Structure 1
Amino acid sequence: MVQVCLNGPRGAADGASVPLTPEAMAESAAGAVAAGATDVHVHPKTPCGQDSLSPRVVAATLETIRARVSVPVGVTTGAWAEPSPTARVARIRSWTSLPDHASVNWHEPGAEEVAAALIDLGVGVEAGIWSGTDGAARFARSPLGPQVLRVLAEVTDTSPDTAEDSARGLLAELGSAFGRPVLLHGEDDGAWPVLRLAGRLGLATRVGLEDMLLLPTGERAASNAQLVTAGLIQYGTAGRDASRP
């Protein structure tokens, strides 16, 4: 599986290619799916470009994207969108339109409560385990671990020289991950080495303007669709190389 991450916490300062409105997100998602993405991860945003868990904002984003694509669509529940764990859970329980899945960063305060609320609503949980945090240790102790949809192993090391080693270390920390599928991805300059490692290991991955603004050539990406096209080539080539005797 190759997921497209449309925008993340990025804003207008990151360039016009980053989709910030529901209409722009839907257009970008449609292009990315046409290019081969099989799942969508998006950060719903207020009109001023801030990540939001507001039921109105989430519903508008999901409904507009789903009018253009038929693949699963997931959203963030990052603490930066709502710092209070209690308020975050209340926001989620007030959603009038439910995503197919939502990411929960396990190192953040309130992760267990947020994940439990999502599971109660029938929303798949992507357990976000960031390198450099205690997320993997917390997840290993979680009674909710066996119930998550998948694990998002996020490598926060942005060095192209060390990101792959950091990814291998994170995977070792995760161990069996309760037998749940693992999606491995990186950030910025570390994103492409980690994506190629995912291809060699046969793990799901993601690509998009949330994770990287540049193509493997170092050129600025014009769209999420362009990143998906490049990502599938990098992912597939790495996988074929790994299978050679």
Structure 2
Amino acid sequence: MPLPVPVSVSLNGSRNAADGPAVPLSPRALAESALAAVAAGAGEVLVHPRTPCGRESLSPRVVGPVVEELRRTGVGVALSVPVSIAAEPDPAGRLERIASWTVLPDRAVVHFGQPDAAELAQALLARGVAVDAVVPLGGAAGPEPLARFLAWPVREPGRVRLSAELAAPDPALVAGLRALPPVPVLLYGRDAAAWPVLRLAARCGTGVRTGVGDVTHLPDGRPARSNAELVAAAREMVARESAARAA
């Protein structure tokens, strides 16, 4: 039976080989990890394309081959890539890179903590790429990212999703999202916050995210052996919390 909320998997994020053997590095390893994660129940895949030396990049010669490798090997769910300062520090350079893509992902992650976020998001939508608008909430994030998102006129709500990164599983922060534009919502946390935020997201019925890019341990504290193991644990948690919510 399908879960009532979708599970997204972040394959690698900002991790590298020093973060353990569960981190896929090469395009082939990313494809194999994605296939296993989808088989475990992931409904979409987020991948950070990298050059052979490990640097994140928005170059079409880096993004295209990674997206093509995942599709060629049979990853049939939506594929997403980040568009951020980590991959291209120059704002104009990010727009140029997007315009030069010859192979398009299904979605792109735009961080609204960055000043050019609205322009980037609009450029992606114009190219036919759906947008995940990342807004950090709580902790040291401050009000600017959320204010920047609210100031952006969302003209295509069907192709925009709010991805709220919570520093802690604060129900009050989630309750405040009800006043936002009517777009789908995904909640996620990182490292120590990852599983508590996922549990809260399951209770609220929003989309959830897991994967090595966000967390390298299972809910019981054991090191995760793969993205697939994290997805399986997330699905189990979502199913349990959703059942409790429906009871």
TM range (shorter): over 0.9
Secondary structure at the residue paired with 1:128? strand
Secondary structure at the residue paired with 2:218? coil
Instruction: Report the CA distance between 1:44 and its aligned residue.
Output: 0.4
1:7 aligns with 2:12: yes
Residue pairs, 1:11-22, within 5 angstroms:
11-22=16-27
Indicate the residue corresponding to 1:25 in structure 2: 30
Whole-angstrom CA distance in 2 between matches of 1:55 and 1:36: 29
Is the CA contact (8 Å cut-off) linking 1:153 and 1:170 kept in structure 2? no
Q: Which among 151, 157, 165 is matched to residue 154 of structure 1? A: 165
How many correspondences in the alignment? 236
Whole-angstrom CA distance in 2 between matches of 1:116 and 1:125: 9
Secondary structure at the residue paired with 1:4? strand
Change (3 A) 1:80 1:173: farther
Whole-angstrom CA distance in 1 between matches of 2:177 and 2:55: 31
Whole-angstrom CA distance in 2 between matches of 1:11 and 1:211: 12
Change (3 A) 1:170 1:78: farther
1:138 aligns with 2:152: no
Secondary structure at the residue paired with 1:104? strand
RMSD: 1.3
Indicate the residue corresponding to 1:192 in structure 2: 195
Indicate the residue corresponding to 2:206 in structure 1: 203
Indicate the residue corresponding to 2:103 in structure 1: 97
Amino acid paired to 1:150 = R
Whole-angstrom CA distance in 1 between matches of 2:172 and 2:29: 37
The gaps in structure 1 that reach 5 residues or longer are 158-162
Whole-angstrom CA distance in 2 between matches of 1:217 and 1:182: 26
Indicate the residue corresponding to 2:67 in structure 1: 62
Amino acid paired to 1:187 = R
Is the CA contact (8 Å cut-off) linking 1:146 and 1:180 kept in structure 2? no
Amino acid paired to 2:98 = I
1:114 aligns with 2:120: yes
TM-score, normalised to structure 2, is 0.92
Is the CA contact (8 Å cut-off) linking 1:28 and 1:223 kept in structure 2? yes
Amino acid paired to 1:84 = D
Q: Which has the higher contact order (CA 8 A, sep 6+)?
A: 2
Q: Which among 223, 234, 239 is matched to residue 237 of structure 2? A: 234
Amino acid paired to 2:33 = S
Instruction: Report the CA distance between 1:146 and its aligned residue.
Output: 4.7
Which shows bigger deviation, 108-117 or 181-190? Answer: 108-117
Is the CA contact (8 Å cut-off) linking 1:200 and 1:240 kept in structure 2? no
TM-score, normalised to structure 1, is 0.93
Is the CA contact (8 Å cut-off) linking 2:118 and 2:149 kept in structure 1? no
Indicate the residue corresponding to 2:3 in structure 1: none
The gaps in structure 2 that reach 5 residues or longer are 1-5
Indicate the residue corresponding to 1:160 in structure 2: none
Is the CA contact (8 Å cut-off) linking 1:7 and 1:208 kept in structure 2? yes
Which shows bigger deviation, 104-113 or 131-140? Answer: 131-140
Instruction: Report the CA distance between 1:173 and its aligned residue.
Output: 4.3
Is the CA contact (8 Å cut-off) linking 1:107 and 1:135 kept in structure 2? yes
Amino acid paired to 1:176 = A
